[in-house]
Structure 1
Amino acid sequence: MLKALRLIGVFLTVIAAFSVVGCNDDDTFEQVSIVSVSPNEIFPGDEVTLEGENFNEVLFVFLNNDQVSYQLNGNIISFLTPTNGGVGERTVTLVMPDGYIVTTEITIVPRPFPIIEAVSTNAAQEGEQVTLRGTSLDNVESVTIGEVEASVVSSTATELVITVPAGVPENVASTILVVTNGGETTAPGNFYVGQNLVLNGGFELGDGDDFTNWSKFNGADLMTATTASGEAYFDRSLRAVGFGGDAWRTQLASDPAAMQVGVEYTLSMLIKAEAGSPGDGGNIRFSTNPDALYSGNYNITSEWQQIEWVFTANADPARVVLDLGVVENAVYFIDNVTLIATGSGTPPPPPININGSFEESDLGVADNINGWGGLNGANASGEVTDEESHDGDKSVKMTINAIGSNPWDIQPTSNMTVVDGETYNLSVWFKGTGISNMKIAIDQGGDPGWAEWGNPEQSFQDNAWTEVNYDFTADTTNSNDGNARFAISMSYDGNVGGVIYIDDLVVRLVQ
Structure 2
Amino acid sequence: MKNFKLLIGCLTVMLLSLVITGCEDEMMAEVKVGSISAEAVFQGSPVSLTGEGFDQVQFVFVGNIQASFTLDGNTITFTVPDEAPVGETTITLAMPRNVRATYVFEVVLKPSPVITSFDAYVPVGSDLVIKGSSLNNNTSVTVDGISATVVSAGDSELVVTVPSGVDETSAIEFEITTTYGVAKPTTAFYARESVIPNSDLEAEGDGVPFAGWELLNAGDGAITAITSGYGGSRSMRVVPAAGNPWDRQVASTAVPLNFGDVYTVVLWAKGETAGAQMRVSVSQYDGNGADYFYGETVEMSTNWEQYTWTFTVTNDLPTHRVVLDMGMGAVPFAIDQIGLVPGSIGASGPVELLANSSFETDLTGWTALNGAAEVTSAEAYCGSQSMTATGAGGNPWDVQIASDAMELEVGTDYEIGFWAKAAGPDGVFRLSMSQFASGQSDDFFYSPDLTIPEEWTYFSFVTTAQATSTGNHRLLFDMGASTQTFFVDGVSVKEYEVSSSSEYSNGGFEDGLTGWTALNGAAEASTDAHSGSGSMTATGAGGNPWDTQIASDAVALTVGNQYKISFWAKAAGPDGVFRISMSQYDGNGADFFYSRDLEIPEDWSYFAFVTTAQATASGDHRLLFDMGATTQTFFIDDVSVVEHDACE
TM-score, with normalisation over the residues of structure 2? 0.38
Higher-Rg member (1/2): 1
TM-score, with normalisation over the residues of structure 1? 0.46
Question: Whose relative contact order is higher, 1 or 2, with alpha carbons under 8 Å and at least 6 apart?
Answer: 1
